[in-house]
Amino acid sequence: MLANILLGVLASGGEGGSLLDVNPGLIIWTILTFLFLLIILKKVAWKPILTALDNREKEIEDSLNRAEQAKEEAQKILDENQATLSKAEEESKKIIDQSRVYADNLKEQMLKESKDQQQKIIEDASAEIERKKNAAFEELKNQIAEISVNAAEKIMKENIDANKNKQIVNKYLSEINKN
C-alpha cells in the first residue's frame, strides 16, 4: 500500500498535486495491487481464515450447548435438593410433633405416678398413725388395768375406812405421777 502511494507521488512528477486530485495511473495501479492482494489472500489465507472462523463458531456453539446442559442439570439438582429439603422439613416437623405428644404423655404419666405415690404415702402414714394410736390406747388400757388392779389390791389390803381409802388412792396416784 505504501508502495502504491510512493508510485503515485513519483508518477505525478513532483507537480505538487494534492491527495484529492484524480490521477488515472494511480487508480489503475491501486486496483491492480488490490486484485493481486485478493488473489494471494484467496489462495493462501482464505481457507485457513474460513476454517478458523467455522471452528470458532462450532466451539462457541458447543460451549453454549454445554452451558445450557449445565444450566439444566443445575436446575434439576436444585429441584431435587429443594424436594429433599422440603421432605426433611416435613419429617422434622413430624418428629417434633411426635416428641411433643410423647413428652405430654410422659408428663401425664409422671404426674399420675406422683399422685399415686403421694396417695400411697398418705395412706401408709395414716395406717401407721392409726396403728400407733391403737397401740398407745392398748398400752394405756393395759396400764390403767394394771393400775386399777394394783389400787384395788392395796385397797383390799388396807380396807379400813373411807378416809383411809382416800389416802391410799391419793398416795397411789402420786406414785403413778412420779413414774
> How many distinct structural domains can be found in the chain?
1
pLDDT in tens, 54-83: 999 999 999 999 999 999 999 999 999 999
Q: Would you say residue 47 has pLDDT above 80?
A: yes
Q: Which domain holds residue 42?
A: 2-177
CA distances from 161 to 28, 121, 157 (A): 185, 57, 12
pLDDT in tens, 99-148: 999 999 999 999 999 999 999 999 999 999 999 999 998 888 888 878 87
In this prediction, residue 99 carries a pLDDT of 94
For residues 150-177, give the mean pLDDT. Answer: 72
Question: Quick check: 131 and 125 in contact, CB under 8 A?
Answer: no
Question: Quick check: 8 and 26 in contact, CB under 8 A?
Answer: yes
CA distances from 4 to 17, 23, 27, 56, 179 (A): 16, 12, 9, 35, 155
Grid-cell match 489472500, residue found: 41
Which pLDDT band holds residue 18 (cuts at 50, 70, 90)? low
Q: Would you say residue 13 has pLDDT above 70?
A: no
| Cα–Cα distance, 114 to 119 (Å, whole number) | 8
C-alpha cell at 48: 485457513
Q: Would you say residue 43 has pLDDT above 90?
A: no
- Overall pTM surpassing 0.85 (yes/no): no
Per-chain mean pLDDT for the chain: 85
Question: Quick check: 171 and 150 in contact, CB under 8 A?
Answer: no
In this prediction, residue 42 carries a pLDDT of 86
Question: Quick check: 33 and 1 in contact, CB under 8 A?
Answer: yes
Which pLDDT band holds residue 150 (cuts at 50, 70, 90)? confident
| Cα–Cα distance, 71 to 65 (Å, whole number) | 10
In this prediction, residue 161 carries a pLDDT of 67
In this prediction, residue 138 carries a pLDDT of 85
Percent of the chain past pLDDT 70, that is, above it, reads: 83
Write the DSSP assignment of 59-122 as a string of letters: HHHHHHHHHHHHHHHHHHHHHHHHHHHHHHHHHHHHHHHHHHHHHHHHHHHHHHHHHHHHHHHH
In this prediction, residue 5 carries a pLDDT of 61
- Helix (H) / strand (E) element for 30: namely helix 24-41
